[in-house]
């Protein structure tokens, strides 16, 4: 039980990888704050954890909104006193060539995927005791990418630079900051990708399950990863190794 007595806050906990991470943290003893803008998915995650005998609460928030982010953090702190693990997982994609991307779409992707990480770190880290962990969910798109997803790839590349810098600032408090970068994982985000639905992009190579990523996230968040800081664990079934 690596997370007994620990409080874990997971954004985007109402679906896919975030939902699996919430379930795994709870199964390993954590009290889990599930943050999502989707009340149905978030409540489903909480109900499943409670039915399995665990502890969880749902806080509805658009992670890009400062007041809503602060309210979600306050809900976890008011229930359990502090936050030990922060997982910044909520994200969105757009699928247009860059020159056809509206300014509004650019700003929305950067706000949901990157500004949210700043907001949750800014307001949750003061509530974390020394020895806590932040896990930011990046993507293989931070390393190698495809056409028509430049805002998304940019947000994930920015997230990895953010992670390295913040890890240095928090080293004295022994709060570790890392990324986990998934490859293709069988979630609604992958299944709803219009390029995959239309066949324009073929799904080749390994496809992971949400539970595979939950295992990687919980490892990086746990004390077993005490010497891992300011870096990215790529969990992609070997995708980045292929030509
Ligand atoms: P998903 O679409 O299944 O889940 C994302 C969750 O985030 C949803 O519950 C959604 O409601 C929530 N969310 C989105 N925007 C939000 C907002 N503004 N405020 C609050 N909640 C919001 O996606 P997933 O595949 O589980 O993705 C999780 C993470 O993994 C993301 O950061 C994604 O970029 C990353 N990732 C996924 C894959 C993949 O193939 N699935 C690959 C690489 C990286």
State yes or no: pLDDT of 243 exceeds 80.
no
The candidate with the shortest Cα–Cα distance to 221, out of 12, 14, 32, 16, is: 32
The predicted structure's pLDDT at residue 195: 83
The pLDDT assigned to 202 comes to 79
Give the residue numbers annotated as catalytic, written as ranges: 152
pLDDT at 108: 98
Per-residue pLDDT tens digits for 60-89: 999 999 999 999 999 999 999 999 999 999
Instruction: Please report the atom of ligand 1 found closest to the CA of residue 207.
Output: 40
By alpha-carbon position, which residue is closest to atom 10 of ligand 1? Answer: 12
Percent of the chain with pLDDT over 70: 100
18 pocket-lining for ligand 1 (C-beta < 6 Å): yes
The CA 1 to ligand 1 mean position distance, Å, reads: 26
CA–CA dist 122, 90 (Å, integer): 16
Alpha carbons 49 and 40: distance in angstroms, whole number: 14
pLDDT at 69 (0 to 100): 99
Q: What is the spatial distance between Cα 36 and Cα 40, in angstroms, rounded to a whole number?
A: 9
Structure tokens at 176: 């570790």
Counting atoms of ligand 1 from 1, which one is nearest the CA of 38?
A: 11
Q: What is the reported pLDDT for 35?
A: 99
Specify the pLDDT at position 203: 81
Query: 232: Cβ below 6 Å to ligand 1?
Result: no
Does pTM top 0.75 for this prediction? Answer: yes
Q: Give distance in angstroms: CA of 5 to centre of ligand 1.
A: 27
- How many whole angstroms from 14 Cα to the centroid of ligand 1? 9
> Is residue 33 within 8 Å of 59, Cβ to Cβ?
yes
Task: Using the mean position of ligand 1's atoms as its centre, give its distance from the Cα of residue 112 in Å.
Answer: 10
How many Å apart are CA 202 and CA 3, to the nearest integer? 38
- 87 φ, ψ (degrees, to nearest 5): -115, 110
13 lines ligand 1 (CB under 6 A): no
pLDDT of 200 higher than 90 = no
Q: What is the pLDDT of residue 204?
A: 80
């Amino acid at each position: 039980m690596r997370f007994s007595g620990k409080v874990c806050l997971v954004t985007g906990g109402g679906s896919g990888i975030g939902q699996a991470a919430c379930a795994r943290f709870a199964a390993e003893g954590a009290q889990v704050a599930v943050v999502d803008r989707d009340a149905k998915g978030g409540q489903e995650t909480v109900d499943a954890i409670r039915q399995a005998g665990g502890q969880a609460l749902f806080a509805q928030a658009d992670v890009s909104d400062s007041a809503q982010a602060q309210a979600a953090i306050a809900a976890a702190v008011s229930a359990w006193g502090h936050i030990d693990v922060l997982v910044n997982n909520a994200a969105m994609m757009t699928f247009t060539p860059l020159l056809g991307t509206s300014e509004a779409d650019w700003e929305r992707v950067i706000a949901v995927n990157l500004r949210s990480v700043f907001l949750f770190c800014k307001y949750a880290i003061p509530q974390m005791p020394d020895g806590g962990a932040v896990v930011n969910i990046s993507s293989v798109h931070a390393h190698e990418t495809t056409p028509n997803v430049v805002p998304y790839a940019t947000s994930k590349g920015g997230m990895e630079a953010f992670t390295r810098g913040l890890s240095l600032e928090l080293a004295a408090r022994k709060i570790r900051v890392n990324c986990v970068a998934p490859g293709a994982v069988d979630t609604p985000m992958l299944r709803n990708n219009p390029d995959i639905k239309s066949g324009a992009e073929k799904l080749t190579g390994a496809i992971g399950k949400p539970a595979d990523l939950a295992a990687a996230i919980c490892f990086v968040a746990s004390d077993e990863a005490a010497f891992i800081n300011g870096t990215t664990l790529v969990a992609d079934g070997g995708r980045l190794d292929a030509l």
